[in-house]
Chain A
Amino acid sequence: ILNVEQSPQSLHVQEGDSTNFTCSFPSSNFYALHWYRWETAKSPEALFVMTLNGDEKKKGRISATLNTKEGYSYLYIKGSQPEDSATYLCASSGGTSYGKLTFGQGTILTVHP
């Protein structure tokens, strides 16, 4: 993996469904993995920052896991609600500096009532 890649590109689910997305990132020169939630016409909102292999973080119905050895992270949303509709971005930091985030293209989630 040379770049940060996210899948799927888009996802349509029904209210109440649980869903998950994948983020793959280069495991060399890795420092941290960031997840953001981005609603149209708003700023990207920070969800999680994870650094250690095996890290799991949770915020309400949203949780994330990290595998630095194989270079992937999963984001889970339990019981999706229409207000969860947004683009979910992951970014890895590392390389030339800790502060440089390399973003994936995002997963667009639409939750239908």
Chain B
Amino acid sequence: NAGVMQNPRHLVRRRGQEARLRCSPMKGHSHVYWYRQLPEEGLKFMVYLQKENIIDESGMPKERFSAEFPKEGPSILRIQQVVRGDSAAYFCASSLRGNYEQYFGPGTRLTVT
């Protein structure tokens, strides 16, 4: 059973460009979570999604960031007009249900130049 997959693993964007990060959950998992690790900091919750629904976006920055988990296909974290402060590792996790253990992907390392 393949684990959580994220792509790309590394992404370089210039300031002002858009970044799209993809996450395919484990087979059978319908709950997806995004976390961010800024340099020298711990993992911080961003958003919790179920298929076609945002359950909790209390950790999402108010502007430029959006997330979706469509009925078909991977979950997407989208960052518009990236700035240097967006440089971080973005981790996706999935679970069978909302109160079960979360399985993490390998992360996408975003560098904004």
- A102 close to B (CB within 8 Å): yes
Chain A residues, CB < 8 A from B69: none
| CB-CB nearest in chain A for B46 | A100
Query: Complex Cα distance A93/B43, Å?
Result: 13
Contact B106 A43 (CB under 8 A): yes
CB <8 Å contact, B101 and A34: yes
A99, B98: Cα distance in complex, Å:
5
CB distance from A101 to the nearest CB of B (A): 6
Contact in complex: A43, B56 (CB < 8 Å): no
Range of interface residues on B (Cβ < 8 Å): 20 to 34
Q: Helix, strand, loop or mixed for chain A's interface? A: strand
Which chain B residue shows the least CB distance to A93?
B99
Q: Cα distance A100–B45 when bound, in Å?
A: 6
Q: In the complex, A26 Cα to B61 Cα: how many Å? A: 24
A101 with B45, Cβ < 8 A, contacts A42-B106, A44-B104, A49-B101 known: yes
CA distance A42 to B4 in the complex (A): 12
Q: Please give, as numbers and ranges, the residues of chain B lying within 8 Å of A93 by CB-CB distance.
A: 99
Contacts of B56 in A (CB 8 A): 96-97, 99-100
Question: B25 contacts the other chain (Cβ, under 8 Å)?
Answer: no
Docked-complex contact A98 and B98, CB < 8 angstroms: yes
Which residues of B have CB within 8 Å of A105? 42
A residues in contact (CB < 8 Å) with B: 31-32, 34, 36, 42-46, 49, 89, 91, 93, 95-106
A to B CB contacts below 8 Å, 14 in the list: A36-B104, A43-B91, A44-B104, A46-B101, A46-B103, A49-B100, A97-B56, A99-B33, A99-B55, A99-B95, A100-B33, A100-B48, A101-B35, A106-B42
User: Taking beta carbons and an 8 Å cutoff, which residues of B are in contact with A?
Assistant: 3-4, 31, 33, 35, 42-45, 48, 55-56, 58-59, 91, 95, 98-107
A-B pairs with the 3 shortest C-beta distances?
A97-B56, A99-B48, A43-B104
